[in-house]
Amino acid sequence: MKELAGRLVALDPDAAAAVRVIAYFDRLVEGRAGLETIVRGAAVLSGCPARLDDASRHIHLEVDSEGTRRDRPTPPRPEWMRAPVVPGADSTLWLERAGPPNAVDAMVLERAAAAARGALERTSGRTRPSGPADGPAAVEVLIDGSLPESVRVRAAAQLGLGAASRARAIALEDGKAVIRAVAEAADEDPTAGDLREGGRRAGIGPAVAVADLPSSWAAAQTALRLTAEGTARDPGPRVVHADDLGGLAVLASAVGPDTRPVPDVLALERAAQAAGWMLQTLDAVAASPSMRAAAAALTMHHSTLQDRFAQAERLLGWSLHDPQGRLRLQLALALRRLHRNPPGHRPG
């Protein structure tokens, strides 16, 4: 798809942009994105505020062109561009700009409305007090911040979680979500250990009140982007806890599918091409408190690591002996993972 878009740029920029829109919403559909993520994508791609109104489900979402959700609803204007989400129902996706839509806007409306329709169908009949809910469907409702809190609390009850319970959301590499309760006596649980033993890549969200699980899910998805296969070509942790990210969560928000790699990431890739051991060695160096600890983690002699270290510095183009150089390496490795795992992508 990227190759096709690249060829189309020279022939027809609008067509190339439309292809990117299709690819973007296809990723959201594949990742079973929630309504807010879909509306946010429509807003950012069109460059104007977007909104979703569904009267029967009592859903109203507004997101500005920067991707920030609005808390104060405003009435739609008849001249705004729009597309029906559920045919024959009062369910509409809007772009808050006067029409008629250009080629890109029309594609955004079409693909976003289709993605939103799929998201609504997954929870059809489960967002009402009388609707039945199976486990996976109840989890989807519970992590969807676009749904009313009362609806999400009912879904929590169907999963055995009371309104006062604390739990965390977990994003798995296949796109699925898992909810784990947290014991009242401690803010910790064996989740990470269970996942590591099972060999699954996962991002673990923070422990929160049941009503705040959409925020835990968003943090878990960010953490998942910073996981790795744990191989020589993709070294790093297979399980990442959002509570441990700190400023890396902010960094993740700045790296999307179309973000170009910075020079340090390109230098890292060149170094990796020069030696098959490079990435695994650099990851161990970045994650260890000392060279001797890194050598022990790699099960090699300290002098062998010193030789590799010197070669790595020459290939990268900066020193790794000082704190600034080590931080630079850590950031380059994190950025590489974010580029390999863009939003909506399933790692692995």
Instruction: Encode pLDDT of 103-145 as tens digits.
Output: 889 999 999 999 999 888 876 544 443 333 346 778 888 898 8
Strand order through the sheet with 80-84: 59-63, 50-54, 91-98, 80-84
Domain ranges in the chain with CATH number 1.10.10.2840: 255-340
Percent of the chain with pLDDT over 70: 86
Task: Report the distance separating Cα 77 and Cα 120, nearest Å.
Answer: 24
DSSP string of 125-154, one letter each residue: TTSSTT----HHHHHHHHH-TTS-HHHHHH
Q: What is the dihedral of CA 293, 298, 299, 303, to 10 degrees?
A: -70
Distances (CA, A) of 189 to 119, 141, 157: 31, 23, 20
Task: Report the distance separating Cα 111 and Cα 91, nearest Å.
Answer: 15
Q: What pLDDT score was predicted for residue 198?
A: 64
Backbone angles phi, psi at 66, to 5 degrees: -90, -5
Q: What is the mean pLDDT of residues 2-23?
A: 61
152: pLDDT strictly greater than 90: no
Instruction: Indicate the range of 87-91, 244-248, 268-272 predicted with least confidence.
Output: 87-91
103-122 and 13-30 are packed helices; what angle lies between their axes, rounded to 10 degrees?
10
Q: Is the pTM of this model over 0.85?
A: no
Q: Is the CATH number 1.25.40.10 carried by domain 255-340?
A: no
Q: What pLDDT score was predicted for residue 190?
A: 53
Q: Who contacts 141 (Cβ-Cβ below 8 Å, separation ≥6)?
A: 123, 126, 127, 133, 147, 151, 152, 155
- What is the average pLDDT score of the chain? 85
What is the third-level CATH fold of 2-122? Answer: Beta-Lactamase (3.30.450)
| Pairing outcome for strands 59-63 and 50-54 | antiparallel
290: pLDDT strictly greater than 60: yes
Closest CA to 275 of 327, 314, 331, 329: 314
Q: What pLDDT score was predicted for residue 125?
A: 46
Q: What is the mean pLDDT of residues 197-217?
A: 90
Q: What pLDDT score was predicted for residue 197?
A: 56
Backbone angles phi, psi at 229, to 5 degrees: -75, -25
Q: What is the pLDDT of residues 230-241, one digit of tens each?
A: 999 999 999 999
Domain ranges in the chain with CATH number 3.30.450: 2-122
Q: Is the peptide bond before 289 cis (omega within 30 degrees of 0)?
A: no
Q: What pLDDT score was predicted for residue 192?
A: 59
Q: Nearest-5° angle of CA 132, CA 346, CA 330?
A: 130
Task: Report the distance separating Cα 152 and Cα 129, nearest Å.
Answer: 10
How many residues are given for the chain?
348
Q: What pLDDT score was predicted for residue 127?
A: 41
